[in-house]
């Protein structure tokens, strides 16, 4: 487990200890990122939710969250050109207006909450939303702008606090009349925009620094490869639903992450350390 917990004012000591990232769990992290990127390229969502539950087993959230957001933004670059014409840009605008209010709230949680509590919250949130997606809510006949803005706000908060802003949007968009292609395209565009805004605010709060360079470089190749392969699979198979691919992965990772977080919390409570 990496001992680095805080931001840019520790850049010098963090650079001196970059080798701490080369731990036995690195191979697991790279394999996990490849799988997360495959899901992202195929469905338009899920990269951060899959990656955060796994990377939190390797690194603290103050490291894993900005790393995942940066990788997600880089991976989205190859999806934006084809997604933009198929996206619902009016809906994206309403989602974004809500996200601008939610992102600062989530960033405050990332900075203030203890590591164990934040991990517990992240995994609980992923599991609850995954269970909601399993229920497959019936689509509404039309979109409600006020509800769209609320969904955008929740997504923005989840993005900056835990880098899982895609799941609230998936839950919401699956309840709208949009078809699968428009859902995927709108998610790609919106999530790329929220990633960018969250990273800008993180930079201003000192959460981005040289200590992130090595983990990003280590995970960049599996990210780009996975997104590319997922994109090819999407255009080849043209799915009507993304449930069979993403949901079992999310459920498995969130349950395992929740168990480990609870065990860590109980251990800390008992030992007082």
In a domain, 13, yes or no: no
* CA pair distance 20, 72, nearest whole angstrom: 23
User: What pLDDT sits at residue 2?
Assistant: 42
For 174-183, give one letter per residue: b (16+ CB within 10 A) or e: bbbebebbbb
Mean per-residue pLDDT of the chain = 81
pLDDT of residue 4: 45
Residue 38 belongs to a domain: yes
How many distinct structural domains can be found in the chain? 1
Specify the pLDDT at position 273.
56
**Minimum mean pLDDT among 56-65, 214-223, 249-258: which range?**
249-258
Average the pLDDT over 151-170 and give the result: 85
pTM: 0.77
Structure confidence at residue 172 as a pLDDT band (50, 70, 90): confident
Range of the domain at 106: 22-271
Q: Is residue 4 part of a domain?
A: no
- Tens of pLDDT along 84-129? 999 999 999 999 999 999 999 988 888 888 877 877 877 787 788 7
Mean pLDDT value across residues 196-220 = 88
**Does residue 138 lie within any of the structural domains?**
yes
Q: Which residues contact 130 (CB under 8 A, 6 or more apart)?
A: 167, 247, 250, 251, 254
Query: Do the domain assignments include residue 9?
Result: no
Share of the chain above pLDDT 90, in %: 26
What's the rounded mean pLDDT across residues 207-219?
87
Q: Is residue 7 part of a domain?
A: no
User: Rounded to whole angstroms, how far apart are CA atoms 53 and 197?
Assistant: 22
Alpha helices in 44-114 (DSSP H): 47-55, 61-83, 89-112
Structural domain contains residue 183: yes
pLDDT of 189 reads 94
Q: Is residue 165 domain-resident?
A: yes
């Amino acid at each position: 487990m990496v001992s680095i917990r805080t931001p840019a004012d520790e850049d010098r000591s963090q650079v001196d200890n970059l080798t701490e990232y080369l731990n036995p769990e690195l191979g697991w992290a790279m394999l996990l990122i490849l799988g997360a990127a495959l899901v992202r390229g195929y469905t338009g969502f899920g990269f951060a939710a899959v990656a955060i539950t796994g990377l939190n087993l390797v690194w603290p959230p103050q490291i894993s969250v900005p790393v995942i957001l940066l990788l997600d933004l880089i991976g989205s670059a190859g999806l934006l050109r084809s997604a933009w014409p198929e996206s619902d840009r009016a809906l994206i605008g309403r989602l974004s207006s809500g996200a601008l209010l939610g992102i600062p709230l989530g960033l405050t949680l990332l900075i203030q909450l203890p590591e164990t509590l934040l991990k517990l919250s992240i995994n609980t949130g992923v599991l609850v939303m995954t269970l909601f997606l399993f229920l497959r809510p019936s689509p509404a006949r039309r979109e409600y702008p006020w509800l769209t803005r609320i969904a955008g706000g929740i997504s923005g908060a989840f993005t900056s606090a835990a880098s899982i802003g895609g799941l609230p949007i998936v839950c919401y968009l699956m309840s709208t009349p949009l078809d699968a292609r428009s859902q995927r395209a709108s998610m790609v565009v919106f999530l790329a925009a929220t990633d960018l805004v969250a990273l800008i605010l993180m930079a201003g709060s000192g959460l981005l620094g040289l200590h992130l360079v090595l983990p990003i470089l280590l995970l960049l190749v599996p990210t780009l490869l996975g997104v590319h392969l997922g994109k090819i699979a999407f255009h080849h198979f043209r799915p009507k639903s993304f449930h069979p691919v993403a949901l079992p992965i999310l459920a498995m990772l969130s349950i395992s992450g929740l168990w480990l977080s609870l065990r860590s919390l109980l251990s800390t409570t008992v030992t007082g350390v």
